[in-house]
Amino acid sequence: MRRFFRFFQLLVATVTCIILLNGLARWTWEVISIIHLYRSPVLHELRETTDTIEHIHNSSHLMVSAFKDHRRDGAIRVISILRRSELKNLYCVLCVLPRTERDEASQCVSSEAVVEMHSDHFGFPYGTSDILCNSPSSIEPRHVAISMGPINVQNLKYLPIQNQKTKDPFKYSFTVCISSLFGEYNNALQFVQTMEVYKLIGIQRVVIYNTSCGPDVEKLLKHYSKEGMVEVVPWPIDKYLKPSHGWQPEESPGDLHYYGQLTTLNECIYRHMYQSQYLLMNDLDEIIMPYKHASLGDLMDTLQKQHPDAGVFIVENPIFPKTQFDDSGRFSRREWRNVPGINILEHIYREPDHRVDRPTKMIINPRYVEQTSVHEVLKHFGPSINVQFDVCHTIHVRVPLNGSLHKNQLHEDKKLWEFEKKLIPKINRALNESGLLR
């Protein structure tokens, strides 16, 4: 009986050990399948992409840029364009360069990615997405690649991980994010007038994503880039997808909304997360104009004192029809007649806006925003504030929204004329130095 009891105890102990070991093995396998630490050849032998847009290996997806997000416990956020019907498991490969010259290998960590598709895609097959990669504390990755599954690291292309450290104070107070130039855009006169107005109201940097532009705007881009105001980001989206010219697939078919506007706006936020105190999210034919303050700096000082926890400020976006002209001819200047484009100083009439869903643009603190759309943020921290119309709104010179309105039904708005004495010489100087005054 005693022998049987001992045998029974041994049997129970053996079965228990088998169960525990089996469970441990299964758990270990699950962990290894998620995170695998390995050593690879030095990173310069791997392929670091220098392109703005890059294919995700063996897929129809695209990746754009990568950033360390200090608000998400240091997760690596890869701004991407994903085909919505093919959101299968994606994997991150995070790598760190050797720390010493004697190190002949870099460390890499692979893990399953978390995909956060942005809610605004307007029904197009492709949409802006964030691919989030978490890495163990054992390494500080400097490069990241995305794959559709386990793969030889040599077959991947790697993005440098930006925003490794937070920075404060910031290099710029106000930066404008221009989503895309396309269609051989050559509206040179409006471009130069807008740039010079930007300077006068306190903007120091303009980021422009360029798909294509005309020869005159190309000269201006070179001029302002040399000056240090403009940062041109190549955006050859038409080499990878068929971009739509609009935001409704049924009216303007294509793979992606409006030349990837949402992707570039989000990329601009992270690119300048620790470079600029504020970002202005508007198009090139729009100027976010303070009406009760001398500059954007004075405006934002006031708004932040009133709303210290806010990081998103919404301004209304009325239209100034380019079909209605000032009758006096005051700014119909002879030296500008051979410069192509719209003379915004001649268009001083503003449409009344009776729409319930009034169009808007934004001034944001980028550190408060995770995802944005065109007219509103999608994910953010803190409250979003609607700025009163008489305090600030845009000057948006374009085709009329309501072409049936006569001039006497429009509102006169001569705000831009207040800058005449400083503005005209600056415009002429820029045109002359760009070789456009003929």
Give the model confidence (pLDDT) of 30-57 as tens digits.
Answer: 333 334 455 555 555 678 888 999 999 8
* Residue 26: predicted pLDDT: 37
Burial class of 322 by CB neighbour count within 10 A (0 to 12, 13 to 18, 19+):
middle
Integer angstrom CA distances of residue 82 from 88, 129, 237, 291, 404:
10, 6, 13, 41, 41
- Whether the per-residue pLDDT at 392 is higher than 70: the answer is yes
- Whether the per-residue pLDDT at 18 is higher than 90: the answer is no
pTM: 0.89
Give the model confidence (pLDDT) of 187-217 as tens digits.
Answer: 999 999 999 999 999 999 999 999 999 999 9
358 forms beta bridges with none
What dihedral do alpha carbons 306, 308, 310, 316 form, nearest 10°? Answer: 20
Backbone φ, ψ for residue 314 (5° rounding): -95, 130
The full DSSP string for 286-298 is: EEEEESSSSSHHH
Give the model confidence (pLDDT) of 74-127 as tens digits.
Answer: 999 999 999 999 988 899 999 986 655 555 567 888 889 999 999 999 999 999
Compute the C-alpha angle 257/258/260, nearest 5°: 70
Q: Mean of the per-residue pLDDT values for the chain? A: 89
